[in-house]
Structure 1
Amino acid sequence: MGLKVSLDTNVFLAVKNKEPGFEFSKRIIDSVEENTIEGIMSTIVLAEVLIGFYQNEENEEANKFSSKALLNYDVISVNHDIAIEAAKIRARYNIKLPDAIIAASTIYSGADFLISHDKPLLKKLKIQNITPKEFVENCLEDMKDRDEN
C-alpha cells in the first residue's frame, strides 16, 4: 500500500467543522478510505472526535464515524508499551497526556508520519510529523505523479 499515516484529532475536526484549509485534511481522509494510504488512529483520537458528536446530540453521526474508523483505520488501543512511551514523551516534552498517547501510538504503529494541524506540538516531537497541507503537497502529489508515470 505504501505510506502509513497517523491522524491527529484536529485533522478530522477540520473536516467536520469545515475549518480553513479543511480540503487538505479531507483529501487525506479520502485517501485512507480509498486505500491509497494506510491510516492509523489512536483510541484517544476516536474518543476526542466522538465527544463533539455526542455534545451536539449527533448520535447517528457518531455511530457512522465510529464504524468508518473501525473499517478504514488501524485503531490503536493504549497498551503497556504505549503507556510507557507516552509517559516518556509527556515527561520529556511537557505536552498534554492525550497528545503524548497519540504520539506514542504513532511510534508503536510504525507510521511514517503523524499528521496534525498542531504546529507547536509538531515542533516539539522528534517523530516524523507534518501538517495536512504539507502532506498533500509533498507526499500525495508525489504518489499521484508516480502512479501516472
Structure 2
Amino acid sequence: MEMKVSLDTNVFLAVKNKEPEYEYSKKIIDSIEDKQLEGVMSTIVLAEVLVGFFQNKESDKANRFANKALLNYEMIDVTLETAQKAAKIRAETNIKLPDAIISASSIVAEVDYLISQDQKILKKINVKKISPKDFVEKIMQKDNVI
C-alpha cells in the first residue's frame, strides 16, 4: 500500500504562486495524481485554496481545482470527532483554528505524514509532519517514489 499523506494549504499555494522551492510541492502533488502516493485533503484546505481563485474572479480555475481534488484526494470532512480533536489541539497549542482542523483531519485520517511549510504546525502538532523539501529529499527519494 502506498504512503498516505495530508497536504496543508500552503503546499498547493506554493505551486499556484510559484513560490521559492515550489518544485518540491509540485513533485508531491504530481505523485498523488499519478497514484504513487495516497493524498488526503481536509475540506478546510479545499476552501482555503478556492478563496484565492474566487478573489481573483477565476471561478473556472476554482471549479477545475475542486474537481481535480475530488478525483485525486480522500476528502476529510469536519465531523464531531475532527472538531473535538481540533478544539483540543487549538487549546493546547494556540495555533489558528483552520490549522488545528487540518491537523486533526490528518490524525483522524491516520496519515503517514502531514506535509506543510508552516513552521508553527511543524513544531507544535503531535502528528508526523514534514516540509515538502524534506519529504521529497528524505522520504520520496529514499523509497524510490520519484
TM-score, scaled relative to structure 1: 0.95
3-state secondary structure, aligned to 2:114: strand
CA-atom RMSD in angstroms: 1.1
Structure 1 Cα separation of the partners of residues 97 and 104 of structure 2: 10
Aligned equivalent of 1:80: 80
Structure 1 Cα separation of the partners of residues 141 and 34 of structure 2: 15
Within-5 A mapping of 1:1-149? 1-144=1-144
Structure 1 Cα separation of the partners of residues 143 and 54 of structure 2: 37
Cα pair 2:95 2:120 within 8 Å, conserved: no
Structure 1 Cα separation of the partners of residues 52 and 126 of structure 2: 29
Aligned residue-pair number? 146
Runs of 4+ in 1 over 6 A off after TM superposition: none
1:33-72: CA deviation from partner (whole Å, max 9, x where unpaired): 0000000000000000000000000111101100000000
3-state secondary structure, aligned to 1:19: coil
Identical columns (%): 60
Structure 2 Cα separation of the partners of residues 79 and 121 of structure 1: 21
Per the TM alignment, residue 144 of structure 1 is displaced from its structure 2 partner at its CA by: 1.2
1:70-124: CA deviation from partner (whole Å, max 9, x where unpaired): 0000010000100000000000101110000000000000100000000122101
Structure 2 Cα separation of the partners of residues 143 and 126 of structure 1: 24
Structure 2 Cα separation of the partners of residues 139 and 121 of structure 1: 19
Structure 2 Cα separation of the partners of residues 5 and 64 of structure 1: 22
Structure 1 Cα separation of the partners of residues 124 and 33 of structure 2: 29
3-state secondary structure, aligned to 1:10: helix
